[in-house]
Structure formats: structure tokens, C-alpha cells
Structure 1
């Protein structure tokens, strides 16, 4: 359909060029001698020229259209290889460069416009200055793009609080972007089922690609973890009512998946859900909000206080002499003084102290019978 439209447009262009050619040909002496002063001959000459040019353009239009499509395809393939951010910055630099060039050269061009020779010099100078400043604008913005990103990040941080308040009033929820570690972990499925997190839930395509590579690994442990992550994603799509979106966006100029996640989160003004300690710290430095599954797990563990009694099952020996080790349902470790001789038994203990570590919470207790 598009080719037919272009073909008729080119044919109309041929008609117009045919008429323009007759206007030029009227100034030629031998043409005037042929058609004379007769209006009929003039109309016939114009009609023949218009039809002839129209037919020529209609015949050659497929070749012109093919050439145009090849040229646009070549330009499009070249542009697609350039990151979108670089294109935006290049256009911004181009506009700024042209504005500065015209501000500088316009007074000189007006001054030189009075004389024919000087006006030619002014036009040439205007063209050269525009080209130079446009090139400078593009080059400077691309070379300083990291600094510009930092400026935009600062402005985003500055307006983040106001935007968050406005979004909360409107009932708009920030997107939650999952990283590879939290998908493999699997607890995110249970958390989302409880309804404590609002959507939309975003899964970047490069995270899916990383999961696929892990699932295809020759290492049995890695392969099992990757397949578990893919199974978790399938269950999320089948069992959850929240909108789950696969984001088909990649950053070819960025190699690390964590850096891509941070960039994607900044673009969508979202939050990263992870249990990766390093990603958590880098995100905090860059001002990207993070929801850490491990921190959530520590926050919801049962609170115990010294002197509280518990009924536990001691399952193994402790590191120190005489100690026994038990676990709560959430995985919290309980170290029992004098519990080694009761390994395999269910006993009553009294909490003596609670220690909070980076790995989680540890409870120290002693046998109730010994107190």
C-alpha cells in the first residue's frame, strides 16, 4: 500500500516537473518557432510535456522507491546500534550548538548583507559556523554524557520526595523490578501472594537471559538454581493477580547486569527487589530505592526477650563444649548451654540473650531444669 502511494506521489511530481519544463522551454527560440503564437499548440505542448514526464516518473518510480527504502533501511540500522540516551543527548547538543552559532553569526551576516560579494562571504561563513558549532555541540554532549547523567540523577533525587507524595495521593504505585538473585531465592512468590507488595512487577529481559544461561550451565548446582528461578517465574505468572511485565529493554553499552538494573530503575522510577548485599549498597549510593528480602525476613522474625521460656528440639552439637543447637521454624539459630547431652530431644529452655548479626538473629538459652 505504501509503495502505491509513493508511486502516485512521484507521478504527480512528474506532472509538476513537466509543467515547469514547459515554462523554461518557452524562453527557447526554436520552441517558440515550432509552437508559434497559437494557444492550441501551446496547450498541446504543455499537455504532452506533463503527460510525458508523468509517464517517465511512473515507470521509474519503483526504482526510486527501492533506492529510498534501501537508504532509510541503512540509516535505521545504523541508528538502532546507537543507544537511545546518546541519540537524545546528540540532538540536545546539536540544538544548543546551532543556537549559539546563530546568536554569534547573525549580526555579522546582517552587516555583510548590503554588498553582493560580502553577502556571499556572509552566507558561506554562516554555513561554516553552523557546521562547526553543531559538531562541537554533539561531541561535547557525548563526551560529557556521564556528567550529564549525574546532573539528571541529582535533579531526580531532588524531586523524588515531591513526586512520591504526589503519586501516593493519586494512588500510583512504583514499579518493582526483580533481580536474578531474588527470583532464584523463591521467597518473593510467597511475599507477593500475601499482598504486601503492590505492582506492577517488572522482569527485565536481560535478567531472563541471565537465568537462561544459569539454567543451561554445566554445573549441576547452578543449573538447578537457574531452573528453579524459571519455575518461580512461571508460578508467578499463573498464580498471581498482580500485573507482571517483561521489559524488553537492554543497554548494550553497559556490561554488568546490576548496572543495567540500576539504570532501568532510574528510567522507570521504580524499586529494585533483591537479596544481593552488594547491589543493595550500590543502589543506596546512587539513590535507587531497594527492597531487600533478607532485611524483610529479619524484620518479621519473632521477637524474644531474656527470661522467655521456649520448647525446642535440639538437633546437633554446638561449636563450644557442651553446647547444643536448635532452630526455630523461620531458621533462627538457638544455642543452648549444656544442650549437647540432649541432642535429639525436645526440651524446655530459658532465653538468656539475643544477638543481632549481619547474617540474622541468634538466640542464646540455657536448660530450664538448670536454672
Structure 2
């Protein structure tokens, strides 16, 4: 019933709009010289034509408005406070301009219908300019938001460095790895630990994965993060800056490190290389682990336990307490035994350090 009433009202509105259009044309004296029955016919055609147009297209327009409202509601939920303020300011300015224009056109009156068509036109102007103002406000925030962030970072940076040391931004890989908690507990890191909101969301996405291994990694990362927040002596902060204009998480991390003047903590090899190109300081956990491995020189004595055979014939494999691989010449027959050996050479590879020894 309500739908029928709305359709009838829109049909009447279309008829009024059609009459208005023909009346304005008639006022220009384009058709005023025609016989009366021709003018009446033109009025009838205009009224019927626009009544049909409004009747046919209004339901589709209404559906489009409903979908647009749903999309707008979903989008607004993800906006930050700053973005909402910018959008609201733009919308208010657009409505103000629409108000000024409407005050001019609403004074026009037509015979029979008065100023009703211009009131409708005024409503359309309000909607259109309000929407344009909203879009301009959002665009203004995107273009100026990063500038304000850099200015704010430049103002706050000396105080932050003096009070808290440099900011340390954790990426997803280093949280899942888990060793970062032990490093924080030892006191080798100072300053503030920052967890970007998009890293937290990526961890949650991994924890909800259908793949069992990924799901376990994601849950372990969330557990490590919870322990860092609850047990760490350093201040831990979740940053809600999303960088919506940037799609990749790694690029967002680099931009955040640049904006706040912090260091990026990771064990991602490729991210480390990209950060070096962009002059972003990186603390790589894998590099730290390699730097902490034992330093040996040829001729040095060591005691190792051979646990398996090597790739080459008669080789045995042992490991130091820090995980460094030791290749024992002719050590295959001593698997399961602890032997004294002499270092013959040391090989540094991309995967880490390898020590070659010979049994005494």
C-alpha cells in the first residue's frame, strides 16, 4: 500500500515537473504563437511524458539510493575520527552553498503550482551539493592528512626520542616468529613498541585461515602479542593509522616508519631490502641471531656431539648451542658420540654460518 502511494505521489510530481518545463518554454514565446489547441496538446504531452518517466524510474532510483546508503554505512564504520570530521565539514559547506542558491530560486513562483517545482529543485540541489562537499572533504583529508602527520611527527620527534627513545614498529613476521618477546625481556630494546592496526588485522586474518599451519602461526602471533602487551616493561601502543591510500601492508609499514621517525623490526628479507632503498632503519632479528653466534677461527679446539650424517660421504653433522651447523670430516662413524675436534675453516652463507672441523 505504501509503495502504491509513493508511486502515485511521484507520478504527480512528474506531472508537475512536466507542466513546469513546458510553462518555462511557453514563457520564452517559442510556442506562444501556436493555436490554443496546439499549446494545450504540448502541455498535455509534457505532463504525461514526465509523469511516466517519474513513475518508471523512481523505483530504480530508490533501490539505488538504498544500496548507496548501505555502502555508505559500511564505509563510514571504517573511517577514523579525523576522516569523519573532514567529511562532516565538507558536507556542511556543501549544504551551506546549496542554502544560498535555494534562497534565490525558491522566490520564483508559477501559476497554479506556485513555487512547488523550485522547492523540489532546491531539495535536489541540497542533496547534490551536500554529496559533492562530502567527497571534497574526504579528498582534502587524503591530500593533507599525510602532510599534517609529517608536521606532527616533526614536532613531536625530539620529545619522543628524549623521553622514550626511538619508536620500534613490529611487523607481522617478527610477531609470529616470537623471538622478539625474549629480546624485549632482556632489555636490549628501548623506547616505545608500536603495533599497527593493519598488522593486528593481518594476524587475525591468518589466525582465521582454513590452512591449519597458517592458523597455528596466526594464533601464536596473537599470543606473543598479548604477552608483549601484558608483560613487557616497555610502553606498547596500538596505532590506528590505516594508510587507506596504500594497499600493501609492507608499504604501509615503511610509510609509518618514515612518518614517525621510528625503526622497523622484522625478519622479512625482502622488506629489509626495500627499507634500505627507502632509507628506513631496520632491526632484523635474523641478522641479530647471526651476529650472536659463536666466533671461531681455524685451529681452535671444540667439543661437539655428532647427531647425523652429512651430504658428502663420511661426513657427520653437529650443532653448537646457538644452532650453528658444524660439519665433521670423517665423522659419520661417530654418530651419537661426543668428540674433540679442530676447526679447519669457517664458511659464511646467506642462511648463516657453517663450521668445518676435523676429529683430533
Tell me the equivalent position of 1:328: 320
> Equivalent residue for 1:8?
none
**1:308 counterpart = 2:306:** no
Equivalence for 2:311: 319
SS at match of 1:344: coil
Deviation of 1:170 after TM superposition, in Å, equals 3.6
The separation in 2 between residues aligned to 1:80 and 1:223, in whole angstroms, is 28
Among 250, 257, 271, which residue is 2:249 paired with? 257
- For residues 320 and 295 of structure 1, the distance between their equivalents in structure 2, rounded to whole angstroms, comes to 28
Would the alpha carbon gap of residues 169 and 181 (structure 1) be closer, same or farther in structure 2, given more than 3 Å must change? closer
Cα offset, 1:81, TM superposition: 8.6
What's the counterpart of residue 96 of structure 1? none
User: Does the CA contact (< 8 Å) of 2:175 and 2:224 recur in 1?
Assistant: yes
Q: Which residue of 2 aligns with 1:289?
A: 281
Structure 2 CA distance for partners of 1:356 and 1:262, relative to 1, 3 Å: same
Uncovered stretches (5+) of structure 1, i.e. residues with no partner: 1-72, 92-137
Cα distance in 2, alignment partners of residues 340 and 321 from structure 1: 8
Matched, 1:358 2:350: yes
Residues 211-251 of structure 1, C-alpha deviations (whole Å, 9 max, x = no match): 11111111111111111111111111222111111111212
Q: Which residue of 2 aligns with 1:199?
A: 191
SS in 2 for 1:279: helix
After superposition, the Cα gap between the structure-2 partners of 1:366 and 1:185, relative to the gap in structure 1 and judged at 3 Å, is: same
* Residue 182 (structure 1) aligns with: 174
Normalised TM-score (structure 1): 0.56
Q: Please say if 1:234 is aligned against 2:226.
A: yes
Gaps of 5+ in 2: 1-71, 91-135
Secondary structure, counterpart of 1:181 in structure 2? helix
CA distance in 2 between counterparts of 1:233 and 1:341 reads: 46
Paired residues, number? 238
Equivalent pair of 1:167/1:173 in contact (CA under 8 Å): no
Equivalents in 2 of 1:245, 1:330: separation in Å?
Answer: 32
Give CA deviations for 1:141-183 in whole Å, capped at 9, x if unaligned. 99xx7xxx89x99x9xxxx9xx99x679845511100000000
Superposition pairs for residues 88-103 of structure 1, below 5 Å?
Answer: none
Contact (CA 8 Å) 1:189, 1:232: kept in 2 or not?
A: yes
Superposition map of 1:50-129 within 5 A: none
SS in 1 for 2:307: strand
- In 2, the alpha carbon distance for the partners of 1:248 and 1:364 equals 50
> Secondary structure of 2:204's match?
helix
Q: CA deviation at 1:258?
A: 0.4
Q: For residues 79 and 226 of structure 1, do their structure 2 counterparts lie closer, same or farther at Cα, with a shift above 3 Å needed?
A: closer
SS at match of 2:306: strand
